[in-house]
Chain A
Amino acid sequence: MKEEFEFVCPECGERISVNGGVREALLENGCLLCDAELSERDFRPVSGPLRS
C-alpha cells in the first residue's frame, strides 16, 4: 500500500506532500530547506485527522 503524508516543517513552515520514502529521508536528514530536526508529528497521513 502506498502511504502519502502531508509534511509541515515546524521551523520554516514548508508544506509538502510526500510518500513514505521521502518521509523516512526527512526524518533522518531534517528539513531539506532549513535543516530543522523533524519528528513523526510533523507528518500526517493525508487521509488522517488534521494535526492540531
Chain B
Amino acid sequence: MSGGIRAELKLEAAEACPVAMATTDRRTAITDISRNVSSGNGSVVEEFTTDATTDVEDDRMYPVFTYDSQITYRFDRDRSLECPCHRVEQHDIPVSETRIDNGSLVLTFHVTDLDELGTVVEDLREHYPVSIERLVQSGGDGDSDDLVFVDRGSLTDRQMEVLQTAHDMGYFEYAKRSNAGEVAAKLDISTSTFSEHLAAAQRKLFADLVED
C-alpha cells in the first residue's frame, strides 16, 4: 500500500501559535485541530483537543467537549494574527498536531508527495526559521505499517454492545473463555440473535479490513 508522507517540522516561532502555547505543559501534543472562518466579525474559530490532565491557561479558550481522558477546547482568534499553522493550511493541508519542544514549535501534517512538502517548506521559510525534523512515508518500503481506517460508526449501538461484551468475556480468545450461549445470556438475548448481531458487525468491519 503506497501513501503520503507524514512531515514533522520545527519552527523557531513558538509564540506565534496560540494553540501550542495554550497548555502549561507545552510539550503536550495538541491534536484534532480544526479551524472555521467566522463570517460575522472576521475571526477564526479554532478547536483543539488535549489530554484532560493538561491545564489550559489561556482565558480565551474554553472547554466544549470532554470524552474519556480528552478535552476539546474552542476559542476565537483574530484573523489578522499570523499563525504558522494557518500558513500551512493555506496549502489545503490540515495541521494534525502541534507541540512545543525546547522552545520551538513542532508541527505535524501530511502531504501527498515530496514536491508538495517542498512548496510548503519554502513558503514557511519566507517567514520563519524552519527545520525538517522527520519524514515518514506510509507503506511500500517494507516496514510493518499497513494502516486502514475502520469505521466503528457503521456499527449500530447494539452491534457495538454485542462486540464489546463478547470481547470482554473472552469470546474471541483462543481458547474461548466463554461460548455464544454465555455471551447471549449476559446480553439477555437468544443465542441466534447474538449470532446475527455478531455476523452483521463482522460483515461491516471486515469490509474495511480486506480488499474487495
Contact = CB atoms under 8 A, between A and B. Distances in A.
Q: Is the interface of A mostly helix, strand, loop or mixed?
A: mixed
A29 to B, nearest CB: 6
B142 interface: yes
Contact of B135 (A1, A2, A18, A29): A18
Q: Is the interface of B mostly helix, strand, loop or mixed?
A: mixed
Interface residues of A, number: 19
B137 to A, nearest CB: 3
Given A2-B143, A14-B132, A33 B137 contact: no
Given A1-B143, A2-B143, A33-B122, A22 B133 contact: no
A21 B118 contact: no
A19 B143 contact: yes
B141 A29 contact: no
A18 B138 CA distance: 11
Interface in B90-146: 113-115, 117-118, 121-122, 131-145
Interface of B: 5, 113-115, 117-118, 121-122, 131-145
